[in-house]
Structure 1
Amino acid sequence: MKISANFDFLRQEFHYVAESASYAERHVYGDPRASCFHARHALERLVKRVYRVDRILSPPRVQNLENYLQEPAFRALVPEAVRQKAEFVRKAGNVAVHGKKTPTPETALDVVRELSHILYWAGRTYLRKGAENLRGRIFDESLIPRPDTPQTRASLAELKAVTDQRDAAEDARAELEGEVEALRKRLAAIKAENEAVPETHDWNEEKTRRLLIDLALHRAGWPLDQKHDREYEVTGMPNESEIGYADYVLWGDDGKPLAVVEAKKTTVDPKMGRQQAKLYADCLQVMHGQRPVIFYTNGYRTRLWDDLFHPPRTVAGFYKKDELASLIVRRTQREALDVARVRDRIVDRYYQKRAIGSIAEQFACARRKALLVMATGSGKTRTAIALVDLLQRAEWVKRTLFLADRRSLVKQAVNAFKTHLPESSPVNLVTEKDKVGRVYASTYQTMMGLIDESEGNEARFSVGHFDLVIIDEAHRSVYQKYGAIFRYFDSLLVGLTATPREQVDRNTYALFDLEPGVPTDAYELETAVADGFLVPPRVQQVDLRFPREGIEYDGLSEEEKEQWEGLDWGDDVNPDALPDRVNASAINSWLFNQDTVDKALRHLMEHGHKANGGDRLAKTILFARNHEHAEFVEKRFNRHYPQHAGHFARVIDHYAAYAESLIDDFSQKNKAPHLAISVDMLDTGIDVPEVAESGLLQTGLLEDQVLADDRTWNAALPRPFRTG
């Protein structure tokens, strides 16, 4: 790939970035979507490279472009003008990839122009004498080729193949660089030199602001193709002429203003435009008889102020027309949230209604977040369903999003909504991405992808699409990994967790604007047991010799000694000097012991809780150390109980194909499997009332998480050895 003269200065330090940028430039007029795609890829390659070579940066936990750009250390490093341009390139690239309409050459040219400013910053920061050598450099648009004949436009698969090839080449180069610390030290010195040179570059920030705001409005379905959409004249302003010009006015189908948008310079805090926007709203209300919702933005940060109900808040973009219309209508039609209206057919217990009342009180006081702590088995999901029902009937909420971290939990939630609130038309976004309803359930991973999805060039799910978001098992790690979802949707937020209030992380409380240890409402195990709604677990310890005492080589049979000598003990153990003892604490690291597993299974089958008149083991979950351990346990079970033909005991974990169907079968009282051997799929959130007991096939794992409704069986057994 020939590198364009516009980006040749990056050849040495950012070679593959320059290649991607050159691809983007080459396709501006012939294939605008490919141009936007490659521009975004150039940005992503640049950002990853900067993270690699700049010693002050550490990658975010979830490594995608948005999180790279949002990392606090990166935001502190990069000038705001550059960050804004990067945000525009990222968003425009996403629209090009996920949208159904092809970008225009004008849009592609805007994207490449903005990219050129970002690449200039990288050069003046990390290239030797970059600040001096690049002074006065401008992007030469005359170098962009204009094809004489129409070009065949590349498919997304073809574009992805090209970028994958360049990514592989970049990764290979990184391997060849070897020790990165010397590179970081060298570039740190260069960066310090360049920072001492005064900046004279014209960032053209006004253009960036317009591009960012227009892109965000277009994504919300506002074409801005009418004269009164921009620079709309208002009368009644407190100035000498009594006239002002609102930057943008968003109109309803009835010709009344739904929102007013005040745009400030990109380098100015958008809060500077708050009063001006409020005055425009005052004027529009007098002129048209309807008070618009207020937005004020610098293109990079946007604030929404529905000043009849809530104080200003930061939002990720703009509402669509129907969403703004709903906000306006809700001002007069929403009703008081009366707990007496909660339907007994959904929840009828006092603590469930109290929890709904606590949330209603929060929302009525203009607080938009709530956290419920409720013991496993006390009905969190049904409480959430009753809350959704109340909010919908009171005209507070139109659409709800229910988020969980596993497909099985999403399916379970959808089934619960179908059972208790069928009129909400629940949609499982994992399997039914194109369906429409009033309640949507999704995994976090699925929703992360859907945020960027477009219909045409309009976002499928805009920032105002959901009025309520419910987080199942809300905890800190969810926000750390999937915080982009909560930053994106401007909604009421309710978190559900079974974790005792004193064990909930203080950062989780901070997410919900709560004091540590003080959830919106709590109903914990001790109270539930005292009320008679739950029963305490009864623990039975099966004491087995190897896990208790460890293993001595001299105490083994000849057959066991032969097995011992045939084990793969790992690279750190001299094969000519095998250990003569494994301590109890280390057994799980090395051995599957058939005798121990066999004894545990026999004990369970003989002494476990019985069902069907005592003829068979009741529904039971065994937690293994890992997938290999679980398969080993299933194999030993089938060896000793072949009469069940491989149906009675099944491994149910994330390795299993169609694991949800296995869970469905396990949930049915008289259907196999009756013994579920799991690792991490059935530990929290799965609702199987028929489960009578659970077992821990290892020491110290999940003991704070596993709670069966009847009793918990605990066997200390080994986890597998390393098999090589």
Structure 2
Amino acid sequence: MSNFDFVKTSLPAVHADCVRAESYLSSDPAAACFYSRRAVEQLVGHLYDVMGLRAPYQNDLAARINDAAFKAKVGTGIAQKLNLIRRVGNTAAHEGRPIQPQTALQLLRELFHVVVFAAYRYSADPQSVPTSKQFDPAVPAKLAPLSRHELAQLATKFKAQDEAHAKELAERDDLAAAKDAEIAALKAQIAVAQAANTKPDDHDYSEADTRRLIIDVLLAEAGWLLGDERDREYPVTGMPNNLGKGFVDYVLWGADGLPLAIVEAKRTTKSPQVGQQQGKLYADCLEAEFGRRPVIFYSNGYQHWIWDDAAFTGSGYAPRDIQGFYTRDELELMIQRRLTRLPLAGAQVDGSIVERYYQTRAIKAIGAAFDKRERDALLVMATGAGKTRTVIALVDQLMKANWVKRVLFLADRTALVNQAVNA
């Protein structure tokens, strides 16, 4: 018996890896996460086929999940669940970090959610999908933990199945016309089944649990393992409520024991900006307690924002959206720059790098914009106007004023990169 029994008829290509993931839950959490990711890879491939979507230019799992057309079809919530399984599965397969049993269990819950979603909407057997049920951890718990010998036997069996499946896929690729006909027939079956389906999708996709796990995974990727009790739900006083108390969702601590940042987590159904004011209040409380103002992150699990309102000696940077959280070193550098970053208005432009007046004027114009908290600048210069030297002089100024540590230099031709290196 398995939580994924219904997948055998609705999404047969995904069934084997779902069952494998579940079978490893109690004996090898990392393997459970790995096979969850494998199941998602199969699932996304199925969805691309039946949705008739073109594969993105970089045709890997991350690109497929994050493709705009795919996300428009499945929705942000399902895409985030798929991304979460992909990320944790990658960690299990490549990074060698131990996977906690609770993480593997939560990942299987997420796998159950996305499989229910796909089987209900994109299979020829939507009636068999248990939309009213949740993943039952008691089912894999009934399985006795596997011995090392049993694990080895299971791995050998799965390897043989994988090789057979890979051979089958290769043969299918050689017979593209047959594969296209197979997909067309499946689409027709799904269309008929979906048209006849009157069963409502009453499945609870547990967005709150997903939000927490996504944030935990992203923090772990940045090196925040959250192993200390004070890392979560840290109590603060001085809040503007009846009790004057509150609890910070996450506090990220520096090596000196002082807070570097806080993370305010909001519901996935709400914009993360709802957490901005709450995060500010928590930062006020921590600043009063420790004498240092932390950087503020706020997130709904899908969108993440950073706000350093103490930058520039207190005048602050405006909040901006980011893709993930900062490491301890990055946050310590941000806080250190609050005091050591120099204004660019009075910074010298190295005349040994640029000699033309318009190059110096361009660099000073960018400096003036950055001093005003603008984060983007564009220079348009004709061929032969000295773009490379202008940029090098700008980088030199930014480094000396402690604005940047490393700079990514992009060019569309190798010759231009070599020109910059030799300038």
Which bin holds the TM-score, normalised by the shorter protein? 0.7 to 0.9
Evaluate the alpha carbon distance shift between residue 115 and residue 167 of structure 1 in structure 2; reply closer, same or farther with a 3 A threshold: farther
8 Å contact kept, 2:345–2:368? no
Query: What is the match of residue 9 of structure 1?
Result: 6
> Does residue 389 of structure 1 match 2:396?
yes
How far did 1:197 drift? 3.6
Distance 2:223 2:258 in 1: 17
> Does residue 27 of structure 1 match 2:15?
no
8 Å contact kept, 1:30–1:153? no
Secondary structure at 1:139 match in 2: coil
8 Å contact kept, 2:6–2:128? no
For 2:193, give the aligned amino acid: I
Query: What is the match of residue 89 of structure 1?
Result: 85
Please point out which of 12, 20, 44 is paired with 1:47.
Answer: 44
For 1:15, give the aligned amino acid: P
How far did 1:148 drift? 2.6
Please point out which of 214, 224, 234 is paired with 1:232.
Answer: 234
> Does residue 130 of structure 1 match 2:126?
yes
Query: What is the match of residue 418 of structure 2?
Result: 412
Evaluate the alpha carbon distance shift between residue 111 and residue 246 of structure 1 in structure 2; reply closer, same or farther with a 3 A threshold: same
How far did 1:16 drift? 2.6
How far did 1:332 drift? 1.8
Q: Which runs of 5+ in 2 are unaligned?
A: 311-315
Distance 2:140 2:286 in 1: 47
Evaluate the alpha carbon distance shift between residue 401 and residue 131 of structure 1 in structure 2; reply closer, same or farther with a 3 A threshold: farther
Within 5 Å, which residues of 2 pair with 1:516-535? none
How far did 1:119 drift? 0.9
Please point out which of 263, 266, 274 is paired with 1:264.
Answer: 266
For 2:105, give the aligned amino acid: L
Aligned residues: 409
Evaluate the alpha carbon distance shift between residue 45 and residue 359 of structure 1 in structure 2; reply closer, same or farther with a 3 A threshold: farther
Secondary structure at 2:408 match in 1: strand
Distance 1:191 1:399 in 2: 54
Distance 1:11 1:405 in 2: 49
How far did 1:82 drift? 2.4
Within 5 Å, which residues of 2 pair with 1:22-421? 22-55=19-52, 57-130=53-126, 133-141=129-137, 142-143=139-140, 145=143, 146-149=145-148, 166-170=165-169, 172=171, 175=176, 176-179=178-181, 180-194=183-197, 197-308=199-310, 309-338=316-345, 341-404=348-411, 408=414, 412=418, 416-417=420-421
For 1:241, give the aligned amino acid: L
Query: What is the match of residue 313 of structure 2?
Result: none
How far did 1:247 drift? 0.6
8 Å contact kept, 2:26–2:140? no
For 2:20, give the aligned amino acid: Y
Distance 1:91 1:101 in 2: 13
Listed one character per residue, the Cα deviations across residues 568-591 of structure 1 (whole Å, up to 9, x for unaligned) are xxxxxxxxxxxxxxxxxxxxxxxx
How far did 1:187 drift? 2.2
Evaluate the alpha carbon distance shift between residue 168 and residue 314 of structure 1 in structure 2; reply closer, same or farther with a 3 A threshold: farther
How far did 1:95 drift? 1.8
For 2:367, give the aligned amino acid: A
Q: Which runs of 5+ in 1 are unaligned?
A: 421-724
User: Pairwise CA RMSD of aligned residues?
Assistant: 3.1
Listed one character per residue, the Cα deviations across residues 470-523 of structure 1 (whole Å, up to 9, x for unaligned) are xxxxxxxxxxxxxxxxxxxxxxxxxxxxxxxxxxxxxxxxxxxxxxxxxxxxxx
How far did 1:173 drift? 5.1
Distance 1:42 1:218 in 2: 23
Distance 2:161 2:184 in 1: 30
For 1:288, give the aligned amino acid: F
Evaluate the alpha carbon distance shift between residue 177 and residue 266 of structure 1 in structure 2; reply closer, same or farther with a 3 A threshold: same
Distance 1:331 1:8 in 2: 57
Distance 1:380 1:167 in 2: 51
How far did 1:105 drift? 4.0
Evaluate the alpha carbon distance shift between residue 189 and residue 400 of structure 1 in structure 2; reply closer, same or farther with a 3 A threshold: farther
Distance 1:11 1:329 in 2: 56
Within 5 Å, which residues of 2 pair with 1:570-719? none
Secondary structure at 1:400 match in 2: coil
Evaluate the alpha carbon distance shift between residue 128 and residue 49 of structure 1 in structure 2; reply closer, same or farther with a 3 A threshold: closer
How far did 1:140 drift? 4.0
Distance 2:152 2:272 in 1: 40
8 Å contact kept, 1:54–1:187? no
Secondary structure at 1:304 match in 2: strand
How far did 1:123 drift? 1.1
8 Å contact kept, 1:34–1:159? no
Secondary structure at 1:232 match in 2: strand
More helix by share: 2
Distance 1:18 1:352 in 2: 63
How far did 1:295 drift? 0.8
How far did 1:11 drift? 3.0
What percent identity do the matched residue pairs reach?
A: 44
For 1:101, give the aligned amino acid: R
Secondary structure at 1:43 match in 2: helix
Distance 1:109 1:383 in 2: 54
How far did 1:188 drift? 3.6
For 1:364, give the aligned amino acid: D
Return the TM-score normalized by structure 2.
0.85
Secondary structure at 2:255 match in 1: coil
Secondary structure at 1:76 match in 2: helix
Return the TM-score normalized by structure 1.
0.52
Greater CA drift, 125-134 or 360-369: 125-134
Secondary structure at 2:378 match in 1: strand
Evaluate the alpha carbon distance shift between residue 399 and residue 316 of structure 1 in structure 2; reply closer, same or farther with a 3 A threshold: same
How far did 1:217 drift? 1.1
Distance 1:98 1:377 in 2: 47
Secondary structure at 1:231 match in 2: strand
Distance 1:360 1:191 in 2: 59
Secondary structure at 1:136 match in 2: coil
Secondary structure at 2:148 match in 1: coil
Within 5 Å, which residues of 2 pair with 1:499-578? none
How far did 1:347 drift? 2.3
Evaluate the alpha carbon distance shift between residue 395 and residue 161 of structure 1 in structure 2; reply closer, same or farther with a 3 A threshold: farther
Distance 1:77 1:205 in 2: 18
Listed one character per residue, the Cα deviations across residues 599-631 of structure 1 (whole Å, up to 9, x for unaligned) are xxxxxxxxxxxxxxxxxxxxxxxxxxxxxxxxx
8 Å contact kept, 2:223–2:327? yes
